[in-house]
């Protein structure tokens, strides 16, 4: 096993290139199964979650080749298997996208799903409700979701909660269904739009992605041969923006869509940080002091839950008391105890964290409790005095491409070492 050793404090300065979005890539690649042809996907982040997914697609019969680290050619013409057992999907949280993709392709699917996640239970009842509305029969046996959907029919589906996963999964299932499917109260995240753009380029008829009503007219087949480029990762971009502010730095975050960053940009400005936007980059220059603010995480275009742990580290430095209300997940503050060991003053009650700021953190051994919490621990190590060791870094490897290389190029001092050292 490996850990990160961080010598702090440091100030991040310079430019960083943002990779393709993890949460778009893990949906677009399964969508290639529906294409039944060759898809060329560019700007695919080279991260653990994507490597696991490409392995799953290969085992289902897809021919995967890589033109370079970030360009994947996915030939799904010979896929003939609709079963993804536990051994294949156990380390892949987003394996649920295989359900929508496989029923669109084969009219049936058997996919084992990982259970709870590192920050609580992750239900898929809204995905199932939608599949059933489209005429599928869904059973869960021995941890395997079995779907029989020999004839998927368009349906009107109202999501009880705004769910990114359910929105994308139902879009995948509906692409070749008979008639029109309408998903109401759908998620508006940029990766929903990215998947719709990929499918439309292959011949699908999806309108309204990015709004809360998506209409999908089923088509007979999708054509291969197209190229799609994954959108930039707004969470990686946000992580670097927050890190620049927290380390009293000055960083140009490149290859992004600034519009996707609006909720964070607004909060950083409220905190006294200077944010300069251009067409495809944002420059973040830290202020002398960080002002306390209140934040509530919400589905897009609200403040992203996936930046909540990272912004907590920044608010720990603010003058005064800040609050963060988690509006998406039931339990996403496990990392607070780790930060407290470094000197943070955080009180968590249910979905609300109260952060008493103006604290100087001191380096300590801490663990990553999930992917984004792991990024927050690294950030805490960058601002803390002395040596911080972050263990459980497998979580960070799941979702950030070349995280340490990118941070070190900006002036961080981080080494990846074996935990035996």
Instruction: Give the span between the Cα atoms of 418 and 98, in whole angstroms.
Output: 34
Instruction: Give the span between the Cα atoms of 146 and 81, in whole angstroms.
Output: 13
Residue closer to ligand EPU by CB (options 14, 123) is 123
Cα dihedral sign for 358, 363, 365, 366?
A: positive
**In whole angstroms, how close is the CB of 160 to ligand EPU at the nearest point?**
7
Strands (E), 61-131: 63-68, 71-75, 83-84, 108-112
254: its two tokens? 């490149």
**In whole angstroms, how close is the CB of 194 to ligand EPU at the nearest point?**
11
Region of 409 (left: φ > 0; alpha: ψ -120 to 50; beta: rest) is alpha
Residue closer to ligand EPU by CB (options 185, 205) is 185
**In whole angstroms, how close is the CB of 94 to ligand EPU at the nearest point?**
4
Q: Is 122 annotated as a binding residue?
A: yes
Instruction: Give the span between the Cα atoms of 188 and 209, in whole angstroms.
Output: 7
Start-end of H helices in 107-189: 125-133, 164-174
Residues, the chain, total?
Answer: 421
The residue whose two tokens read 């490897």 is: 397
Q: Is 311 annotated as a binding residue?
A: no
159: its two tokens? 């999501």
Q: Which residues are catalytic?
A: 117
Q: Is 148 annotated as a binding residue?
A: no
Residue closer to ligand EPU by CB (options 189, 389) is 189
Residue closer to ligand EPU by CB (options 48, 127) is 127
390: its two tokens? 């972050």
**In whole angstroms, how close is the CB of 370 to ligand EPU at the nearest point?**
7
**In whole angstroms, how close is the CB of 390 to ligand EPU at the nearest point?**
16
β-strand pairing of 281-285 with 274-277: antiparallel
Q: Is 328 annotated as a binding residue?
A: yes
Distances in whole angstroms, Cα of residue 346 to Cα of each of 242, 322, 338: 18, 10, 10
- Which residue of this chain has its Cβ atom nearest to ligand EPU in the complex? 165
The residue whose two tokens read 């003939």 is: 80
Residue closer to ligand EPU by CB (options 30, 357) is 30
DSSP character for 231? P
Q: Is 254 annotated as a binding residue?
A: no
Q: Is 43 annotated as a binding residue?
A: no
Residue closer to ligand EPU by CB (options 107, 301) is 301
**In whole angstroms, how close is the CB of 145 to ligand EPU at the nearest point?**
12
Q: Is 93 annotated as a binding residue?
A: yes
342: its two tokens? 């470094």
Closest by alpha carbon to 120, among 407, 409, 326, 362? 326
Interacting residue ranges for ligand EPU, rule: CB under 6 A: 22-23, 26, 94, 122-127, 161, 163-166, 187, 305-306, 328-329, 371-372, 399
Cite the annotated binding site for UDP-N-acetyl-alpha-D-glucosamine by residue number: 93, 122-126, 306, 328
Cite the annotated binding site by residue number: 22-23, 93, 122-126, 306, 328
Cite the annotated binding site for phosphoenolpyruvate by residue number: 22-23
């Amino acid at each position: 096993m490996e850990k990160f050793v961080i010598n702090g404090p440091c100030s991040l300065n310079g430019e960083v290139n943002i990779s393709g979005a993890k949460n778009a890539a893990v949906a677009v690649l399964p969508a290639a199964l529906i294409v039944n042809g060759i898809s060329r996907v560019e700007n695919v982040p080279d991260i653990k979650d994507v490597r696991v997914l490409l392995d799953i697609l290969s085992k289902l019969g897809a021919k995967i080749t890589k033109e370079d680290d970030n360009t994947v050619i996915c030939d799904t013409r010979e896929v003939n298997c609709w079963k993804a057992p536990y051994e294949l999907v156990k380390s892949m949280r987003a394996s649920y996208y295989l359900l929508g993709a496989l029923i669109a392709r084969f009219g049936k699917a058997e996919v084992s799903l990982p259970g709870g996640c590192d920050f609580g239970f992750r239900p898929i009842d809204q995905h199932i409700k939608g599949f059933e509305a489209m005429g599928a029969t869904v059973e869960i046996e021995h941890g395997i979701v079995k779907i029989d959907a020999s004839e998927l029919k368009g349906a009107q589906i109202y999501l009880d909660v705004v769910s990114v996963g359910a929105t994308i999964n139902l879009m995948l299932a509906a692409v070749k269904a008979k008639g029109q499917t309408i998903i109401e109260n759908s998620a508006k995240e940029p990766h929903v739009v990215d998947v719709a753009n990929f499918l439309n380029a292959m011949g699908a008829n999806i309108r309204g992605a990015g709004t809360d009503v998506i209409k999908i007219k089923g088509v007979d087949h999708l054509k291969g041969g197209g190229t799609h480029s994954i959108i930039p990762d707004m969470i990686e971009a946000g992580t670097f923006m927050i890190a620049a502010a927290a380390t009293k730095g000055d960083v140009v975050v490149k290859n992004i869509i600034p519009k996707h960053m609006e909720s964070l940009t607004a909060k950083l400005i409220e905190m006294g940080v200077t944010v300069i936007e251009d067409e495809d980059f944002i420059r973040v220059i830290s202020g002398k002091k960080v002002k306390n603010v209140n934040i509530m995480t919400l589905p897009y275009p609200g403040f992203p839950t996936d930046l909540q742990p990272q912004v907590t580290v920044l608010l720990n430095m603010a003058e005064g008391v800040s609050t963060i209300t988690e509006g998406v997940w039931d339990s996403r503050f496990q990392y607070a105890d780790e930060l407290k060991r470094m000197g943070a003053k955080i009180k968590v009650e249910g979905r609300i964290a109260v952060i008493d700021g103006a604290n100087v953190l001191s380096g300590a051994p801490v663990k990553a409790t999930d992917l984004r919490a792991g990024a927050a621990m690294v950030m805490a190590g960058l601002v803390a005095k002395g040596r911080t060791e972050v263990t459980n870094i497998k979580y960070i490897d799941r979702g950030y491409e070349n995280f340490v290389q990118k941070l070190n190029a900006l002036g961080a001092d981080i080494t990846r070492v074996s935990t035996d050292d």
